[in-house]
């Protein structure tokens, strides 16, 4: 009796797997009822049956077809050129092919979805951690029938930057950084956990580590705690200190590894549960503090220290004072190849809770130049700039406008602007001090002579 029950449960479990009922995380399944396009039930395409099926686009809406529904929102089904899931031979009653297939070329017959990037399971690029979203399976790479993910050997898997929890190093809040030059105790970089799928205010732990190729364990550099925002992100700006570099470069490892060979990464977790691990951040050149003595705004950099770098952390000083430089807004430096200048910019990452997708409403680019002929002679240096907005006019921030700013100069920078009058005054002071010492010395000699 027990063996019969076990066999029955096994058969039911297998049947459920074949139609994708037990899929975990983001996934798609074939069902007889229409997708609601709300909550966790969004339509991808239509198929003629639960398996061994022909396909159809959502727009074709053929009568009697089943529904391929995904448990995540895709934003829209427009084909961007990179979000193809499968190709169809026609709009309905169609055979299918893998995302990279070229037999079917009519764009209107492609099945596309949001910001998905998809491959088949035979693609050399495929890896479960890289493409974790199971969608469908095909009976062949082209001219194929369609089934649920476990029906056929050619499986379609996808990834999505707006759905997959990820951890990145970044300067502008959007693109990831893999190499950075460092002035210890000055250079900063953002650590960002994206798409945490956790409610606002959830505690997130970041552990920064330095990767070792030796037999020793990776070095723990720093542990910090942050909270998720309404955008399901967690952000922390790491100031890279000399202590941090030394922790990743102990005496034994210093014999086989230089500072510019160090690679850092961070792990994000919640209540002990791992959420994501960042890629490596390689340390390029380690510079002395003196490098920053004449760096006040982004335009003071050459190309090497501009985009995704900003070793002297001047981006915030390079934009109007009323600009916001804390998440979800970011200030950064970027190189303009047309003018060969390092410009500053600020932008806000806009989050849509309905689709889980991020977008940039626009970017304000600042082109600055020094407007102070005296330089740092008076202890301050002045800059003026032009501002250009890339988005819709209605979204333009009030601070994105022509303006100027006066910045304090470090004491070491003021010295080169020591002028002629300063030289005369210093000479007079030195002469007076010498004269005073000379008078005191003569009086001492007279006093000694009287005693004799």
Summarised one tens digit per residue, pLDDT across range 167-218 is 999 999 988 999 999 999 999 999 999 988 899 999 999 999 999 876 678 9
The reply to whether 46 falls in a domain is: yes
- In DSSP notation, 325-373 reads -STTEEEEEEEETTTTEEEEEEEEEEEETTTTEEEEEEEEEEEEEE--T
> What percentage of the chain's residues is helix, strand, coil (to nearest 5)?
20, 35, 45
Q: Note whether 85 and 173 are same-domain residues.
A: no
Angle at 171 between CA 170 and CA 172, to 5 degrees: 100
Q: What is the pLDDT of residues 316-330, one digit of tens each?
A: 999 988 888 999 999
CATH value at residue 279 = 2.60.40.10
Bridge-based pairing of strands 146-147 and 133-138 is antiparallel
The reply to whether 305 falls in a domain is: no
Distance CA 3, CA 375 (A): 89
What is the mean predicted confidence (pLDDT) over 391-395? 92
The reply to whether 376 falls in a domain is: yes
Q: Of the candidates 159, 179, 211, which is a domain's last residue?
A: 159
Angle at 223 between CA 218 and CA 229, to 5 degrees: 125
Angle at 233 between CA 114 and CA 352, to 5 degrees: 40
In the block, which residue shows the tokens 């160090």? 262
| Nearest alpha carbon to residue 83 among 162, 26, 153, 171 | 162
Residues ≥6 apart with Cβ < 8 Å to 286:
181, 182, 183, 184, 245, 259, 260
Q: Of the candidates 110, 138, 159, which is a domain's last residue?
A: 159
Q: What is the pLDDT of residues 289-316, one digit of tens each?
A: 999 999 999 999 999 999 999 999 999 9
Q: Starting at the edge strand that comes first in sequence, how are the strands of the sheet with 110-112 ordered?
A: 96-97, 84-88, 110-112
The total of other beta-carbon atoms located within 10 Å of residue 8's CB is: 10
Residues ≥6 apart with Cβ < 8 Å to 111:
44, 45, 55, 57, 77, 84, 85, 86, 87, 88
Q: Note whether 6 and 136 are same-domain residues.
A: yes
Q: Note whether 272 and 155 are same-domain residues.
A: no
pTM of the model: 0.70
Q: Note whether 131 and 177 are same-domain residues.
A: no
For the record, the structure tokens of 60 come out as 């074709």
Distance CA 245, CA 243 (A): 5
Q: Note whether 73 and 97 are same-domain residues.
A: yes
Distance CA 310, CA 333 (A): 6
Q: Note whether 46 and 131 are same-domain residues.
A: yes
Distance CA 107, CA 105 (A): 6
CA distance to 424, 427, 436, per residue, from 433 (Å)? 14, 10, 5
Predicted pLDDT at 98: 98
In the block, which residue shows the tokens 């003071």? 300
The reply to whether 57 falls in a domain is: yes
Q: Note whether 12 and 119 are same-domain residues.
A: yes
The total of other beta-carbon atoms located within 10 Å of residue 322's CB is: 11
| Nearest alpha carbon to residue 269 among 364, 372, 365, 165 | 165
Q: How confident is the model at residue 80 (pLDDT cuts 50, 70, 90)?
A: confident
Strand, coil or helix: 354:
coil
Q: Note whether 77 and 130 are same-domain residues.
A: yes
Q: Of the candidates 106, 128, 159, which is a domain's last residue?
A: 159
| Average pLDDT over all residues of the chain | 85
Residue 152 pLDDT greater than 50, yes or no: yes
> What domain range is 85 assigned to?
2-159
Strand, coil or helix: 434:
helix
Q: Note whether 72 and 221 are same-domain residues.
A: no
Backbone angles phi, psi at 229, to 5 degrees: -100, -175
Distance CA 59, CA 374 (A): 67
Distance CA 335, CA 34 (A): 50
Domains contained in the chain, number: 3
Q: How confident is the model at residue 415 (pLDDT cuts 50, 70, 90)?
A: very low
Q: Note whether 212 and 115 are same-domain residues.
A: no
Residue 413 pLDDT greater than 60, yes or no: no
Residue 255 Rama label (left phi>0; alpha psi -120 to 50; beta): alpha
Predicted pLDDT at 238: 98
Q: Note whether 39 and 91 are same-domain residues.
A: yes
- In DSSP notation, 393-430 reads GGG--TT-SSEEEEEEPPHHHHGGG--HHHHHHHHHHH
| Nearest alpha carbon to residue 53 among 17, 101, 83, 86 | 86
The reply to whether 100 falls in a domain is: yes
Distance CA 278, CA 293 (A): 32
The reply to whether 446 falls in a domain is: no
* Alpha carbon 81 to chain centroid, angstroms: 23
The reply to whether 205 falls in a domain is: yes
Predicted pLDDT at 450: 53
Distance CA 80, CA 66 (A): 26
In the block, which residue shows the tokens 């460092």? 182
Backbone angles phi, psi at 97, to 5 degrees: -145, 165
The reply to whether 298 falls in a domain is: no
Distance CA 8, CA 227 (A): 46
Q: Note whether 57 and 37 are same-domain residues.
A: yes
């Amino acid at each position: 009796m027990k063996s019969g029950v076990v066999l029955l449960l096994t058969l039911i479990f297998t049947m459920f797997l074949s139609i994708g009922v037990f899929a975990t995380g983001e996934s798609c399944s074939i069902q007889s009822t229409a997708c609601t396009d709300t909550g966790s039930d969004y339509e991808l395409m239509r198929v003629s049956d639960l398996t061994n099926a022909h396909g159809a686009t959502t727009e074709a809406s053929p009568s009697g077809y089943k529904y391929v529904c995904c448990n995540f929102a895709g934003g829209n089904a427009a084909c961007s050129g990179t979000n193809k899931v499968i190709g169809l031979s026609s709009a309905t009653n169609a055979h299918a092919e893998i995302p990279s297939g070229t037999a079917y070329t009519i764009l209107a017959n492609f099945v596309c979805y949001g910001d998905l990037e998809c491959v088949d399971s035979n693609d050399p690029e495929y890896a479960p951690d890289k493409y974790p979203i199971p969608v469908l399976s095909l009976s062949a790479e082209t001219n194929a029938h369609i089934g649920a993910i476990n029906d056929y050997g050619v499986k379609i898997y996808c990834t999505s930057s707006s759905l997959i929890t990820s951890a990145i190093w970044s300067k502008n809040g959007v693109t990831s950084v893999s190499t950075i030059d460092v002035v210890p105790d000055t250079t900063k970089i953002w650590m960002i956990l994206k798409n945490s799928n956790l409610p606002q205010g959830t505690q997130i732990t970041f552990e920064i580590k330095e990767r070792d190729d030796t037999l020793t364990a990776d070095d723990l550099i720093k542990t910090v705690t942050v909270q998720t925002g309404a955008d399901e992100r967690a952000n922390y700006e790491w100031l890279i200190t000399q202590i941090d570099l030394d922790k990743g470069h102990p005496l034994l490892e210093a014999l086989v590894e230089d500072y510019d060979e160090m690679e850092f990464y961070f792990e994000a977790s919640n209540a002990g549960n791992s959420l994501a691990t960042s890629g490596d951040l390689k340390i390029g050149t380690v510079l002395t503090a003196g490098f920053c003595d004449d760096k006040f705004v982004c335009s003071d950099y050459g190309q090497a220290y501009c985009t995704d770098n900003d070793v002297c952390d001047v981006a915030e000083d390079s934009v109007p004072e009323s600009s916001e430089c804390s998440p979800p807004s970011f200030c950064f430096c970027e190189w303009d190849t047309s003018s060969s200048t390092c410009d500053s910019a600020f932008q806000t990452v806009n989050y849509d809770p309905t689709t889980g997708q991020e977008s940039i409403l626009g970017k304000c680019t600042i082109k600055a130049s020094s407007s102070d002929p005296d330089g740092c002679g008076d202890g301050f240096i002045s800059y003026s700039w032009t501002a250009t907005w890339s988005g819709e006019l209605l979204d333009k921030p009030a601070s994105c406008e022509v303006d100027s700013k006066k910045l304090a100069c470090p004491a070491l920078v003021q010295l080169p602007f020591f002028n002629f009058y300063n030289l005369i005054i210093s000479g007079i002071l030195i002469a007076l001090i010498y004269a005073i010492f000379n008078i005191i010395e003569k009086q001492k000699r007279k006093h000694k002579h009287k005693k004799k």
